[in-house]
Amino acid sequence: TSVLVLNGPNLNLLGIRQPDIYGATTLPEVEQMCRSHGAAGGFDVTCAQSNHEGALVDAIHAAKGVHNGIVLNAGAYTHTSIALHDAILSTEMPVVELHLSNIHAREAFRHRSYIAPVAIGMICGFGVAGYSLALDALIGHLGGRT
Ligand code: DQA
């Protein structure tokens, strides 16, 4: 089983950006944690990040036939991107939506997600621990052993 962990805009600044909200762990540390979690659970994890909406669409397309599912933190595009919504629909890739922060406890503009209606489910509010939770949820959905 192979999973893509895909992070969107500004998540390259994890650990530096608003640490009160997003924590002190950097993106390379999160990605290493995801790969270790995969290795421990017997599945492959590939990580990617882009600040560009179209590049994220391309990454979802490219995941088809290569990975079995995606853990997606689409960052602010969560709240705006019909293109990402359509990319998930178009590829029929199983997606677990992830947010470090509890988007429902924040500004109203973060309450709507265009990813949610096309995701298996969402994990939010648990900081970087959410990545492991999302991986386990995805593997469970895919019929894996975790
Ligand atoms: C985020 C929440 C989004 O609202 C925000 O734009 C982000 C990060 C999160 O992980 O909590 O960039 O997706």
* Residue 138: predicted pLDDT: 98
Check: complex ipTM more than 0.85: yes
How confident is residue 44, by pLDDT bands cut at 50, 70 and 90?
A: very high
In the predicted structure, residue 146 carries a pLDDT above the cut 80: no
Helix (H) or strand (E) holding 146: none
Instruction: Given the residues 37, 67, 85, 99, select the one marked as catalytic.
Output: 99
Q: Check whether 68 is labelled as a binding-site residue.
A: no
* Residue 51: predicted pLDDT: 98
Ligand 1 neighbour 110 (Cβ under 6 A): yes
* Residue 77: predicted pLDDT: 98
Helix (H) or strand (E) holding 92: none
8 Cα to the center of ligand 1, angstroms:
9
Ligand 1 neighbour 51 (Cβ under 6 A): no
Q: What is the pLDDT of residues 48-92, one digit of tens each?
A: 999 999 999 999 999 999 999 999 999 999 999 999 999 999 999
The answer to whether 99 is a known catalytic residue is: yes
Ligand 1 neighbour 122 (Cβ under 6 A): no
- Determine the atom of ligand 1 nearest the C-alpha atom of 99: 10
Judge whether 45 and 30 are in contact, CB under 8 Å: no
In the predicted structure, residue 145 carries a pLDDT above the cut 80: no
Q: Which domains, ranges and CATH numbers included, belong to the chain? A: 2-142 (3.40.50.9100)
Q: Check whether 101 is labelled as a binding-site residue.
A: yes
Ligand 1 neighbour 45 (Cβ under 6 A): no
How confident is residue 121, by pLDDT bands cut at 50, 70 and 90?
A: very high
Other Cβ atoms closer than 10 A to 93 = 20
In the predicted structure, residue 144 carries a pLDDT above the cut 80: no
The amino acid present at 120, given as its one-letter code, is I
Closest CA to 136 of 66, 64, 53, 34: 34
* Residue 28: predicted pLDDT: 98
Q: What percent of the chain has pLDDT over 70?
A: 99
- The tokens for 1 are 């089983």
Q: Is 105 left (phi over 0), alpha (psi -120 to 50) or beta?
A: alpha
Judge whether 47 and 31 are in contact, CB under 8 Å: yes
- The tokens for 93 are 């890739």
